């Protein structure tokens, strides 16, 4: 056993320790030692400033080290940080009430947890208990988490090598307008026919125990794919016909990211259960399951159990209340709309200069840019996506690349809602340069 030291390890020692002692949990680590973060920027040990176009793990919607979040954490951790899970505190009840105030009826009952996977786990567990059924339907490019039930409903990655998932999980195709599988006479996506076909297959496979449909309003890890207007109303009807609950996972889209408080507002459809995470804690571990009083009562009467170590913790609940304060006080839904339009126009200008940009999509400050080798055939290239991402980081822009089979590399952008037009312009300039240089090197 060695004593710790106050002096930071050398770079070589840091990476040697990382290689020796860390479990690798998802690809390679970014080869930067991050010392601190502030606003829209990360600062590496070598002094480099890196523009954060992913808001950390798509979570820090108020930027890094927001002064009001810092003040809340300092104040709350000094007075009330953690409790026995059966005890309640004012921040928890306040946050549950205030979340309900941001949502349409009948969503009014909240369970406060830590991560998106945990909130989806709880939502699935609740849906199964309330319906008395066990089958779950999700999109074929979904990401809902890496715990058992959430991972069983995740199809974009992580399914192979772990044995069977939970029984009764089914995938339906993603309504991707850029790469349509069912088409109309003009070649556009025929999502109604696709949805009908999908549920014909679900009905054929189901044992008669369909409990819920768990989907994202905009698939993020699936490539920033937004189903067409009208799709969720039709999906909701499919659920109602079968006695299923509709669960919407707004881990990345909730709380003003898309220009409205919740992405589902566009479609006029209210889910039976809503899950929130990432954006609710603005980078701290806070998640929520929100449902109706009727569903909560049924779950309670049937003995709903989701007793975890950090359920209803006061420290992060206080942070959640501060997040709501800032979102409301600074009208960040409006800001996300205006900055989103600015970002989208900048990406459109880049597309005009680079033929490898096949598609631009997203809403508000959640944007996707799909890279292709050929716009006509939409042929993708993993090498191109990797080159652009790597060059962006070299230039000082942290991007996220989604590379899934059957589609091109999609650059996923989710800057903080507090970003400035100048910061977005800087990111767009670096992205423009990176695409040009990556293409020249192919």
Enumerate the active-site residues.
Answer: 143, 216, 249, 252, 278, 412
Tokens 């909130």 locate to 119
Cα angle 380, 425, 47; round to 5: 95
Closest CA to 321 of 64, 119, 101: 101
Q: How many CB atoms lie within 10 A of CB 208?
A: 9
The answer to whether 139 and 174 have CB atoms below 8 angstroms apart is yes
Angle between helices 314-329 and 90-102 (to 10 degrees): 40
Closest CA to 339 of 418, 410, 262, 396: 418
Phi, psi angle pair for 254, to nearest 5°: -75, 160
Helix (H, G, I), strand (E, B) or coil at 204: helix
- Taking the C-alpha atoms of residue 95 and residue 270, their distance in angstroms, rounded to an integer, is 20
Tokens of 341: 């339009």
Angle between helices 231-241 and 191-205 (to 10 degrees): 20
Q: 390, exposed or middle or buried, with CB in 10 Å at 0-12, 13-18, 19+?
A: middle
Q: 107, exposed or middle or buried, with CB in 10 Å at 0-12, 13-18, 19+?
A: buried
Name the E strands within 192-234: 210-215
What residues are paired with 273 via a beta bridge? 247, 291
Q: 442, exposed or middle or buried, with CB in 10 Å at 0-12, 13-18, 19+?
A: exposed
- Taking the C-alpha atoms of residue 211 and residue 266, their distance in angstroms, rounded to an integer, is 25
The answer to whether 114 and 310 have CB atoms below 8 angstroms apart is yes
Closest CA to 415 of 136, 54, 95, 140: 54
- Taking the C-alpha atoms of residue 9 and residue 297, their distance in angstroms, rounded to an integer, is 54
Cis before residue 106, ω within 30 degrees of 0? yes
Closest CA to 384 of 393, 374, 371, 396: 371
Tokens of 230: 């009208």
Name the E strands within 72-141: 107-113, 135-139
């Amino acid at each position: 056993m060695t004593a710790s030291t106050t002096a930071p390890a050398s770079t070589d020692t840091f990476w040697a320790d990382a290689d020796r002692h860390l479990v690798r949990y998802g690809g390679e680590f970014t080869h930067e030692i991050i010392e601190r973060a502030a606003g829209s920027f990360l600062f590496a040990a070598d002094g480099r400033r890196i523009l954060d176009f992913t808001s950390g793990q798509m979570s820090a919607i108020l930027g890094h080290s927001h002064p009001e979040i810092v003040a809340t954490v300092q104040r709350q951790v000094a007075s009330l940080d953690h409790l026995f899970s059966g005890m309640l505190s004012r921040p928890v009840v306040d946050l549950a009430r205030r979340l309900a105030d941001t949502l349409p009826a009948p969503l009014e009952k909240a369970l406060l947890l830590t991560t998106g996977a945990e909130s989806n786990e709880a939502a699935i567990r609740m849906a199964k208990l309330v319906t008395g059924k066990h089958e779950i339907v999700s999109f074929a490019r979904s990401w809902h988490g890496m715990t058992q039930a959430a991972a069983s409903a995740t199809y974009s990655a992580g399914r192979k090598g772990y044995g069977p998932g939970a029984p009764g999980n089914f995938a339906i195709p993603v309504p991707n307008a850029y790469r349509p599988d069912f088409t109309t006479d003009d070649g556009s996506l025929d999502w109604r026919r696709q949805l009908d076909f999908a549920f014909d297959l679900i009905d054929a496979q189901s044992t008669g125990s369909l409990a819920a449909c768990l989907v994202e309003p905009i698939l993020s890890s699936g490539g920033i794919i937004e189903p067409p207007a009208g799709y969720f109303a039709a999906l909701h009807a499919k659920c109602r016909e079968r006695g299923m609950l509709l669960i919407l996972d707004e881990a990345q889209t909730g709380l003003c990211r898309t220009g409205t408080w919740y992405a589902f507002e566009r479609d006029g459809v209210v889910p039976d259960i809503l899950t929130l995470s990432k954006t609710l804690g603005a980078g701290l571990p806070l998640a929520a399951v929100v449902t109706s009083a009727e569903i909560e009562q049924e779950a309670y009467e049937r003995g709903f159990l989701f007793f975890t170590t950090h359920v209803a913790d006061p420290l992060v609940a206080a942070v959640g209340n501060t997040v709501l304060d800032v979102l409301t006080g600074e009208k960040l839904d409006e800001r996300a709309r205006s900055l989103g339009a600015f970002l989208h126009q900048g990406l459109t200008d880049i597309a005009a200069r680079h033929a490898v940009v096949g598609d631009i999509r997203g809403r508000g400050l959640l944007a996707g840019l799909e890279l292709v080798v050929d716009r006509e055939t939409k042929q993708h290239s993993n090498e191109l996506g990797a080159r652009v991402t790597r060059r962006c980081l070299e230039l000082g822009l942290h991007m996220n690349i989604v590379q899934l089979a059957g589609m091109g590399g999609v650059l996923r952008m989710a800057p903080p809602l507090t970003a400035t037009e100048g910061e977005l312009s800087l990111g767009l300039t670096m992205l423009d340069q990176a695409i040009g240089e990556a293409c020249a090197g192919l």
